[in-house]
Amino acid sequence: MNFNLDALIRPNIKSLKPYSSARHEFTGEASVYLDANENSLGSPLPKWYNRYPDPLQAQLKEKLSHIKQVPPQQMFLGNGSDECIDLLFRSFCRPGVDNIIICPPTYGMYSVSANINDTAIRTAPLLDDYQLNLAHIEQLADANTKIIWLCSPNNPTGNDLHRADIEVVLNNFNGLVVVDEAYINFSRQATFAKQLADYPNLVVLQTLSKAWGLAGLRLGIMMASPEIIAIINTVKAPYNIAQPTQDLAIKALDNMADVNQMIHLIVDMRNALAEVFEQMPIVEKVYPSAANFFLVKMYGAKQVYDYLISRGIVVRDRSNVQFCDNALRITVGTEQENTQLVDAMADYMDLLAAQNN
Ligand SMILES: *Cc1c(COP(=O)(O)O)cnc(C)c1O
């Protein structure tokens, strides 16, 4: 590998003089803050919400750093992973010039963000077992390929990508390799965040939206080399993480034991649900999952979807997605919700049987 970060950055970003906010220019302790045009009298909310939040979220990163075993200067926090994804495009991909590689079926935001940033999308579809097609990826990469997007466990298929395959990509590609680990807490795979020192081109994405149960907070975590993080920090909006998000996340992170318990419960329920679905005559295949959802290939997926809607149950219809035909993606619910789903499926199959008689 011949990794040269300097050559990857968009020239306008390399020469960017970032906005310098009030909270950035003065970081010491003072008792009178008259530097940021805030309302010094207060706000309708209690506490310090009249003040701008810490632009670099030091306290929150400190806490995350202990949990993730990654130094704060190798972390960027985004308004959801979706902000992290967009910032990677804006920092590295020259509109109309550069390209990225995605491996569908995968998370939709990579291509949406690519299109917003006018970056060409090259696709190396996953193989039949939803693993990487390494030869195809190698064939697609050229001098203008800035980022290869990998998602493990993958959404919507649910499986882990083989670790050795990800390592091959990391070892042979001179651009950035993003490993999106939104569902890593449900997987038996170790995070790639532990290997940041081995791979200067590695970017790991995680989020509080899934296992931590905090999709409403909007907090995504990007982990990479200090150099990559420094670039992203020049491009980000000055106060991208709201104070309530910082406060609540700091509080939530004290409850790791509870979260781990939820994760175990969700994994058990996922395995049980998958087994039940496997027995259904209309199910062709339940794909193995390392996440909090599973993908099911069934006969007449669209009809099943519509029937479930009529019962007030919404699953994700992936039946029209390329390489996912006739598949529904089902998130694990509560015990009671899962029972409702299984009951509805049983009623649907009764209905089908009655029609066929
Ligand atoms: C849900 C999900 C995310 C999380 O996005 P947030 O913006 O952090 O909520 C990221 N990547 C994948 C693959 C996802 O499925």
**178, 311: one domain:** no
**341, 262: one domain:** yes
Domain count of the fold of the chain: 2
pLDDT score at 24: 76
For the record, the structure tokens of 344 come out as 């509805």
> Considering the domain boundaries, does residue 34 fall inside one?
no
> Considering the domain boundaries, does residue 33 fall inside one?
no
Check pocket membership of 209 for ligand 1, CB cut-off 6 A.
Answer: yes
**305, 225: one domain:** no
**170, 291: one domain:** no
Average pLDDT over residues 57-74: 98
Closest CA to 117 of 244, 235, 229, 28: 235
**303, 245: one domain:** no
pLDDT score at 143: 96
Nearest CA to ligand 1 atom 15: 155
Check pocket membership of 112 for ligand 1, CB cut-off 6 A.
Answer: no
**297, 314: one domain:** yes
**Site of tokens 């979807």:** 305
> Considering the domain boundaries, does residue 61 fall inside one?
yes
**9, 141: one domain:** yes
**308, 187: one domain:** no
Check pocket membership of 85 for ligand 1, CB cut-off 6 A.
Answer: no
Question: Is pLDDT at 321 greater than 90 in this prediction?
Answer: no
Check pocket membership of 157 for ligand 1, CB cut-off 6 A.
Answer: no
Distance CA 254, CA 206 (A): 18
**216, 262: one domain:** no
Distance CA 272, CA 77 (A): 35
Q: What is the pLDDT of residues 202-212, one digit of tens each?
A: 999 999 999 99
Q: What is the pLDDT of residues 273-309, one digit of tens each?
A: 999 999 999 999 999 999 999 999 999 999 999 999 9
Domain boundary among the residues 228, 254, 280 is at 254
Domain boundary among the residues 203, 219, 254 is at 254
**C-alpha 36 – ligand 1 centre gap (Å):** 33
pLDDT score at 71: 98
Give me the percent of the chain exceeding a pLDDT of 70: 100
Q: What is the pLDDT of residues 214-254, one digit of tens each?
A: 999 999 999 999 999 999 999 999 999 999 999 999 999 99
**162, 294: one domain:** no
Q: What is the pLDDT of residues 109-132, one digit of tens each?
A: 999 999 999 999 999 999 999 999
**108, 189: one domain:** yes
> Considering the domain boundaries, does residue 39 fall inside one?
no
DSSP calls for 159-181: PPPPHHHHHHHHHH-SSEEEEE-
For residue 68, what are the domain limits?
A: 5-21+52-254
Q: What is the pLDDT of residues 156-182, one digit of tens each?
A: 999 999 999 999 999 999 999 999 999
How many angstroms from the chain centroid is the CA of residue 275? 27
Domain boundary among the residues 222, 254, 286 is at 254
Average pLDDT over residues 13-23: 87
**C-alpha 208 – ligand 1 centre gap (Å):** 9
Average pLDDT over residues 92-102: 98
pLDDT score at 349: 96
Question: Is pLDDT at 356 greater than 90 in this prediction?
Answer: no
Query: To test ligand 1's pocket by mutation, which of 64, 76, 77, 81 has the most ligand atoms within 8 angstroms of CB?
Result: 81
**199, 296: one domain:** no
Supply the CATH number for residue 272's domain.
3.90.1150.10
Distance CA 92, CA 80 (A): 19
> Considering the domain boundaries, does residue 47 fall inside one?
no
Check pocket membership of 80 for ligand 1, CB cut-off 6 A.
Answer: yes
**C-alpha 80 – ligand 1 centre gap (Å):** 7
pLDDT score at 118: 98
